[in-house]
Amino acid sequence: MSDSSDIRKKTGPIPRKPTAAEQEWERNTLVPSLGKSPERQKEFTTTSSYPIRRLYTDADLTEWDAARDLSFPGEVPYTRGIHPTMYRTRLWTMRQFAGFGTAEDTNQRFRYLLAHGQTGLSTAFDLPTLMGYDSDHPLSEGEVGKCGVAISSLADMEVLFDQIPLADVTTSMTINSPAAVIWAMYLAVAEKQGADWKKISGTLQNDILKEYIAQKEYIYPPEPSMRLVIDTFEFGMKHTPKFNVISISGYHIREAGSTAIQELAFTLRDGMEYVEWALKRGLPVDEFAPQLSFFFNAHNDFFEEIAKYRAARRIWYKAMAERYKAANPRSWALRFHTQTAGCSLTAQQPTNNVVRTAIQALAGVLGGTQSLHTNSLDEAWALPTEFAATVALRTQQIIAHETGVTNTVDPLGGSYFVEALTNEVEQAAWEYVRRIDAMGGMVAAIEKSYPQREIAEASYKYQMAVDKKEKIIVGVNEYVTPEKPIEILQIDETVAERQRTRLAKLRGERSAAEVERRLNALRKAAGGGENLMPYIYDAVKVYATLGEVCEAMRAVFGAYEEVAVT
């Protein structure tokens, strides 16, 4: 038996004792009705196979205390949201993840999105960039500009943000293992534009733990990787107080096949791990914690997702206030970005994905998200076309302006079902946290492949349920119709050629001696204990490439190889 069902048994639906009135309803109304028209299934479960009861009543909330567990928006434990007025004052940031081809191509898409009412940028990098390789590295062949934009040096970064004022626009960058290097390039562009580092804002994903757990874009072993992350915390604390130096991400954990509870638990335990490493470094909790942010998935199961976001805020508050003794309310409040579930999109009947995405986005909004990305209908096939990306952005605008869900704060607060599910999800997540604590923390758990195994187990079970049609996916295993291929965005190999030419020119024009001198200084510092951010910044400023900087550190740190679990 897998641990996940074990956890459910231990913490799952809290035993309930119906009131006399409810028992009477069961006798007089329910039982006769079931006799005539039985229910469609024996058991009803969420997308994550979590059991859901027929009806939730006050009997499900006997342990629940509205003053303690629900409270008010903007007040602890933040169940109802981190701001007192939520979307009545300010809508969430509509932040569509974009990036493909060269820096010029993506710069154009960024400017298009901003012109159409998008309120923040979010950068997708290609696989070579994510792995710390330049576009002209042999392993980059076939991958340049495919899954995102190719950025090999500060020269590319300058083009990427050309005519986009970094003083005004907040930018999120989905980059992890080479996060410190890409961030240094971004800061260099900001400096060139004359933007004040103290005022610029944005988010660096920089979450290496979930890479070992789920997405697997790692370069170095955990220890030096964690050092780099804490280096960025320390640097950000001092120089960029408004920048989110990390986006602790459950998104990829969920995409790898986890349940909602696993996503919640592993993400928050990752967050605790970063806090513990920063405390070990001697950073004061209330100075770095306000710059930590989170990132969750929005999958199909509407209420399970909403419960997950509400529970996340409660858990983080308790962890920060009680476990780490943070005193600043800004350290307690969990701020998060949401992206609708890429893994829920179907290649079949892609128009249906607009509907899936809208419902998932609505869950994110009812869960109190601070920013949102809605996937495009064609993303089971490729990066989105401009048409598909526009529909995705419009979906958010419709939720914001036409549905009325932004008129009041936490509209689902007090619902028997939502509150009971929030409690259950929270308890199950704490049980995972306790297990990981007992293993010696998240790095130790990763080295034992614990979260990896839990996710693989859940993902296999899900696939089997779909294959057996226990779970219906419209257009895939039911309601299947013949269809024609859709038009998709193609990235051709000229992107790689253009990148190679640009890199060759760059390598010819920059001062080779200066680059070498600064890379040597970085190598030396990597061997010691200093904060590496200033060294990385110095190197990228003279156009040392991403690959060169990452390689300099690889020479000292070594490379990570996982034990593959199947």
Partner 1 sequence: MVEKKIRVLIAKPGLDGHDRGAKVIARALRDAGMEVIYTGLRQTPEMIASAAAQEDVDVIGLSILSGAHNTLCPQLMKLLREKGMEDVTVLVGGIIPEADVAALKQAGIAGIFLPGTSTQEIVEFIQGRASA
Could you list the residues that contact partner 1 (CB under 8 A)? 127-128, 130-131, 133, 139-143, 146-147, 211, 215-218, 255-257, 343, 346-348, 380-382, 456, 459-460, 463-464, 466-467, 473, 476-477, 485, 488, 490-491, 561-562, 564-566
List beta partners, residue 171. Answer: 121, 202
Peptide bond into 384 cis (omega under 30): no
CB 150 within 8 A of CB 129: yes
Tokens of 79: 């169940």
Torsion of Cα atoms, 145 then 129 then 275 then 338, to 10°:
0
Q: Six-digit token pair at 55?
A: 């009806």
Backbone angles phi, psi at 324, to 5 degrees: -110, 5
Smallest separation (angstroms) from partner 1 to the CB of 296: 18
Based on CB atoms, which residue is closest to partner 1, 358 or 458?
Answer: 458
Query: Which sign, positive or negative, has the C-alpha torsion 464, 4, 253, 214?
Result: negative
Structure tokens at 472: 């219906």
Query: Could you tell me the smallest distance in angstroms from the CB atom of residue 21 to partner 1?
Result: 47
CB of 564 to partner 1, least distance (A): 4
Q: Are 425 and 264 in contact (CB under 8 A)?
A: yes
Minimum distance from CB of 283 to partner 1 (Å)? 30
Residue (177 or 396) nearer to partner 1, CB = 177
Q: Which residue has the tokens 């899936």?
A: 356
Q: Which is nearer to partner 1, 372 or 456 (CB)?
A: 456
Tell me the closest approach of the beta carbon of residue 566 to partner 1, in angstroms.
4
For partner 1, the closer of residues 218 and 296 by Cβ is 218
Min. distance of Cβ 143 from partner 1 in angstroms?
A: 5
* Sign of the CA dihedral running 466, 470, 473, 478: positive
Cα–Cα separations (whole angstroms), residue 199 to 98, 157, 172: 24, 20, 15
C-beta separation of 310 from 79 below 8 A: yes
Count Cβ atoms below 10 Å from residue 256 Cβ, excluding itself: 21
Check if the beta carbon of residue 105 is closer than 8 Å to that of residue 111: no
CB 281 to partner 1: min, Å = 28
Nearer to partner 1, 131 or 189 (CB): 131
* Nearer to partner 1 (CB atom), residue 44 or residue 460: 460
CB nearer to partner 1: give 67 or 559.
Answer: 559
Residue closer to partner 1, measured from CB, 234 or 255: 255
Give yes or no for a contact between 499 and 135, defined as CB atoms under 8 angstroms apart.
yes
**Cα 559 to the chain's mean position, in Å?**
24
Distance of closest approach, residue 321 Cβ to partner 1, in angstroms: 35
Query: Is the CB of 21 or the CB of 355 nearer to partner 1?
Result: 355
Residue nearer to partner 1 on the CB measure, 140 or 406: 140
Q: How far is the CB of 475 from partner 1 (least distance, A)?
A: 8
Q: Closest separation between CB of residue 557 and partner 1, Å?
A: 17
In the complex, the smallest distance separating the C-beta of residue 216 from partner 1, rounded to whole angstroms, is 3
Of 267, 316, 288, 305, nearest to 76 (Cα)? 316
- Distance (Å, whole) CA 539 – CA 517: 9
Integer Cα distance of 253 and 263 in angstroms? 6
Which residue, 408 or 463, has its beta carbon nearer to partner 1?
463
What is the DSSP secondary structure assignment for residue 57, as one 8-state letter?
Answer: -
How many residues are there in the chain? Answer: 566
